[in-house]
Amino acid sequence: MKKYLLLTLISFCCIYIVSAQQNAQYSQFMFNKLAINPAYAGSNQSASIVAMYRSQWIGVEGAPTTQLLTAHTPLPNGRAALGLSIINDFIGPTNNFNLHLNYAYRVPLAKGNFAMGIQGIFQRYLINQDKAKTLLPDDQLFAEAQNSRMVGNTGVGFYYEGPTAYAGISVNQIIPTDISLLSDEVANNNIESIAEPHFYLMGGKLVTLSSVLRLKPAFLFKYARNAPIDFEGHISFIFYDQFIAGLSLRQGGSSMKGGIESVDLIAQMLISDQLRIGAAYDITLSEITPFNSGTIEILLSYSLERKKRLYNSKLRHPRFF
């Protein structure tokens, strides 16, 4: 079953038009917003770095693994910011490497800040043909495929942050681009793989219940053409402003059990105002449940100490956003 899953996945990625979410997903999306929305750059009011590793569907040969590194910092004028995202995604013998260069500009409002962002995207799609297995022994189409393809793209985003809430909307890969690894002589409208635009809508709010306990609900909508709408709902309990325990439901990637794809357990510790470490474990509830042992994700983030407020920030708890 595992081999058939991998072969089917490779076949769709390399030959036919892709009809699914193509970008990597993250269980700890609420602390990894720059990978989703370029307008988030500079929101921490200081230089910040996030590193993440994700291993999906443990036990399935060729299952996705993702390595991510993001960095962003406000510029001296306080309103403009720069950001960088490096995403290295593996599925079977295929590798999707993304480099995002982000620019954001913030506009102070009476109760918070509104930011606009744009990104330049450089993508490299690669297949290790030595590790690939085709359904047909002498697949001529696969023999005609290139080893890799480099393409460029762009994205935009908008982000609002208030005293205890945030919201954002963004689109990644605005320009539909051929990533089939087929030469122009072979590729046509019927045989190609397209990098489709991905739309994101996110939000969250911080609720103070007592002097030792806060509640933080968050959500993320994801949509790509010909793919089901993906929704992730999350709730975190924050103890003593230091320990975080959360639960998420991911819906959209399964036709079983009401469409719920996974239940995600999240735990984080704020070692200081600057340093955070987190982990997530996804319990799979989709059709692939019998063949894997879940998904793990590790996150580490660090922010330089904020020496002063660089712009009109009304955010009372930036460490949680």
**119 or 259: which carries more pLDDT confidence?**
119
Domains of the chain and CATH, by start: 2-320 (2.40.160.40)
Nearest-angstrom CA–CA distance, 129 and 223: 31
**CA gap 200, 165 in Å, rounded:** 17
**Residue 244 pLDDT > 80:** yes
Task: Provide the mean pLDDT of the chain.
Answer: 84
Could you give the percent of the chain with pLDDT greater than 90?
56
Distance between CA atoms of 80 and 189, rounded to whole angstroms? 41
pLDDT at 254 > cutoff 80? no
Q: Please give the structure tokens belonging to residue 280.
A: 């997530």
More confident residue, 260 or 101: 101
pLDDT band at 81 (very low <50, low <70, confident <90, very high): very high
Residue-wise pLDDT tens digits, 117-151: 999 999 998 888 777 776 766 766 666 667 788 89
Measured CA to CA, the distance from residue 162 to residue 179 in angstroms comes to 39
Q: Under a CB-based contact definition with an 8 Å cutoff, are residues 21 and 143 in contact?
A: no
- Statement: residue 79 has pLDDT above 60: yes
- CB 260: neighbour CB atoms within 10 A? 16
Q: What is the mean pLDDT of residues 177-193?
A: 66
Q: How many C-beta atoms lie closer than 10 Å to residue 273's C-beta?
A: 13
Cα separation, 52 vs 279, whole angstroms: 9
Query: By percentage, how much of the chain surpasses pLDDT 70?
Result: 79
In sequence order, what are the residues at sequence separation of 6 or more whose Cβ sits closer than 8 angstroms to the Cβ of residue 290?
none
